[in-house]
Amino acid sequence: MELGYWKIRGRAQSIRLLLEYTAERYSETFYQCGPAPDYDKSGWLQVKESMGLDFPNLPYLIHDGNRLTQTNAILRYIGRRHDMVGKTEEDHMRLDLLDNQLMDFRNGFSRLCYSADFEKLRPEYIKTALVTIGRFSKFLGEKDWLVGEKPTVVDFLFYELLDCHRILEASLLKTFDNLVRYVKRFEDLPRIKAYMASDRFMRAPLNNTIATFGSE
């Protein structure tokens, strides 16, 4: 499989974690966004329209003649190969609900990070995020994983967002004991642990050079 994305964690990090967890063989194509003031994206823009993608975007995944974009579609594609997309109608409802909910959560986080008014917006964002994370904490309850008995694709989105929010404001996670345990449980998965200890793992930056927060 070939995964294409900016050389940042961003939306691709959940996909990288899933590829590692499922032990898929993959390679990465990294695109670079240049420094201020131009934030040159030509490395990507030069190839964007000629890659055979129906809806050209980053991240993309190319495998066996399949060319996919959209983070959630890519996660589902990999997840289906490893029985990580639920079994029952109840599971599917929860997965659909969660990946959309997590997309809203990610979009809000990105809007904050990329805003020139980051410092002004931060306090209000933290308050809202506390409510959002509280809802996820309640949804998880005493379960080990969001849906079913073992990790599914939504756990990879959720873990990454929790880690990003812990970096933004440590108290956001510490407030919720079950989420602190959840993050530890995820990081203790043997393949995840090995990946995080390897030189393949990207700890930073979270965001592109143009962002106010997380670009270092």
Ligand X SMILES: N[C@@H](CCC(=O)N[C@@H](CS)C(=O)NCC(=O)O)C(=O)O
Binding site for ligand X (CB under 6 A): 10-11, 48, 57-59, 70-71
Measured CA to CA, the distance from residue 157 to residue 79 in angstroms comes to 12
CB of 22 to ligand X, least distance (A): 19
The least CB distance from residue 55 to ligand X, in Å, is 9
Q: How far apart are CA 63 and CA 24, in angstroms?
A: 11
Q: Which is nearer to ligand X, 137 or 209 (CB)?
A: 209
Whole-angstrom distance, CA of residue 153 vs CA of residue 19: 11
Task: Tell me whether residue 4 or residue 148 sits nearer to ligand X (CB atom).
Answer: 4
Q: Is the CB of 20 or the CB of 99 nearer to ligand X?
A: 99
CA atoms within 13 A on the CB side of 106: 23
- Least distance to ligand X, CB of residue 150, Å: 24
Residue type, 78: I
DSSP single-letter state for residue 64:
T
For 37-61, b/e burial (b = at least 16 CB within 10 A) is: eeeebebbeeeeeeeebeebbbbbb
How does DSSP classify residue 48? H
The nearest distance, CB 148 to ligand X, in angstroms, is 23
Nearer to ligand X, 33 or 176 (CB): 33
Residue nearest to ligand X (CB): 71
Nearer CB in complex with ligand X: 6/176: 6
- Least Å distance, CB 24 to ligand X, is 18
Dihedral sign for Cα atoms in the order 165, 202, 192, 98: positive
Q: Is the dihedral of CA 181, 186, 187, 190 positive or negative?
A: positive
Q: How far is the CB of 87 from ligand X (least distance, A)?
A: 25
CB closer to ligand X, 63 vs 185: 63
CB atoms within 10 A of CB 134: 14
